[in-house]
Structure 1
Amino acid sequence: MSPNHTPRKKVSPSPSSSTTLITTLIAVLAIFTGIYYVLDSRLSSFYIFDPAHLHDLSKRAIGKHGDDTRAIVHFIVGELSEKLPGGYVNLAEEWIFNNAGGAMGAMYIIHASVTEYLIIFGTAIGTEGHTGRHTADDYFHILTGTQLAYTPGSFEPEIYGPGSVHHLHRGTVKQYKMDASCFALEYARGWIPPMLGFGYADALTSTLDFPTLWRTTWVTGREIVGNLLRGKL
């Protein structure tokens, strides 16, 4: 080592700067927590769909069209577009594969926003999987076919046929199965963005179907942003 070389001393953050950083982080967390609780207490004011109306609409569609799933879907979307004009209802029938919780089917996104989504979900050949544990209440209105559900400790399945509603309460979880062809009007109300991770997980870790993942992202993002621009949270 050269006699003229002076070793550089490591500069450590001063105790005061570390304290300031921690204080700032705590303040930011407190602000966001406060905003979350205020908005969460007012969630119902952001909803534009009503579970009771969707149940009645589903039953009327089934009563008019029987097992004709396509006609049922058109009936439901048609009435919703009349009831909620202004672009809140997506009339472009864009069917997209959906893999989530080990189950596979297809969906048509009728509405997507920060606090609600409404889709037609189903499969013509059956599937089975995990419901996910979500930050929203999920109402599964069976249109055609049958869905089975199971919770640990039960010895008999829950059975949901056409016209019935499977309500998965926010924060709860079940196993579900569609033995054969089954389609449903699925309505979720609560915080929707945290649910997207469940919807993406299978594509990122199993199917690696990136074109479908991109299409899902594009349609979902387009609808959420569009509704935000309309003032719909």
Structure 2
Amino acid sequence: MGYRFDSDVLHEVARQVVGWPLETGELVTCAVELLAEAYPDSIAPTAGRWVGSKAGGILGKVRFLYFSPREYLVIFGSPTGTQGFSGRYKRVQIHKFLMAGQIDSYDLESDDLTATTLRPGEHTCLEKGQARGLTIHPGSWHLEYGRGAVATTLPFAMVDTLLVSLEFESVRRSGVEFARLIRRQVAGSRPRSR
């Protein structure tokens, strides 16, 4: 069984919105509209609300666009910048498509002592089993696409927010957004009456 999203299409969407204004929200609005055009059965043209997220020390805002057992798609970023740990996912591959700002990262286990820099319009992939240190510069926003056993990412995505930050409201809002996306998916998979 194939995947719903094509990383080349997601990369092209990120490239198309580079340079759009952040202050007015046009960058995010345009990205969501382009994704809804490319995937009308999966992405709503008006995205849900922003939710606070802290995972691996990385604090930012996330907007959930799609969630299923095998794939997820979100917009993530921070107006002020943040840094921390990418997480290590043995069963999920994670793509980042930078729309604005800059992300510096380094492999935690390699002999390489330098960081790589991701700039707007560029794409990087965290392969299964890899882990990175990340610095997300102020004003950085990216599409994040996960592919694989997505449920295995949820403990990492929620534990820091729930147990370290004690930010129960963000966990509640995340649950509401997940439920909204799953309802949309179930409604879209029902046979249409004639």
User: Smaller-chain TM-score range?
Assistant: 0.7 to 0.9
In structure 2, stretches of 5+ residues that fail to align are none
Map 1:89-168 to 2 at 5 A: 89-90=43-44, 91-134=46-89, 135-152=91-108, 153-168=111-126
Deviation at 1:151, TM superposition (A): 1.3
Between the aligned partners of 1:113 and 1:230, the Cα distance in structure 2 is 13
Tell me which stretches of 4 or more aligned residues in structure 1 moved more than 6 Å: none
Q: CA deviation at 1:58?
A: 1.2
SS of the residue corresponding to residue 230 of structure 1 reads helix
Which residue of structure 1 aligns with residue 12 of structure 2?
Answer: 56
Which structure: greater strand fraction? 2
In structure 2, give the amino acid aligned to 1:52: D
State the number of aligned residues: 184
Structure 1 stretches lacking a partner, 5+ long: 1-41
- Structure ranking higher in helix proportion: 1
Q: CA RMSD in A?
A: 1.7
User: 2:150 corresponds to which residue?
Assistant: 192
Based on CA coordinates, which of the two structures has the bigger radius of gyration? 1
State the partner residue of 2:21: 68
Percentage identity across paired residues of the two chains: 27
Question: Aligned ranges for residues 153-232 of structure 1 at < 5 Å?
Answer: 153-231=111-189
C-alpha offsets along residues 13-41 of structure 1, whole Å, 9 cap, x if unaligned? Answer: xxxxxxxxxxxxxxxxxxxxxxxxxxxxx
Question: TM-score, normalization: structure 2?
Answer: 0.88
- SS of match in other structure, 1:80: helix
With normalisation by structure 1, the TM-score equals: 0.74
Q: Deviations over 1:185-219 (max 9, x none)?
A: 11111111111111111123211111111111121
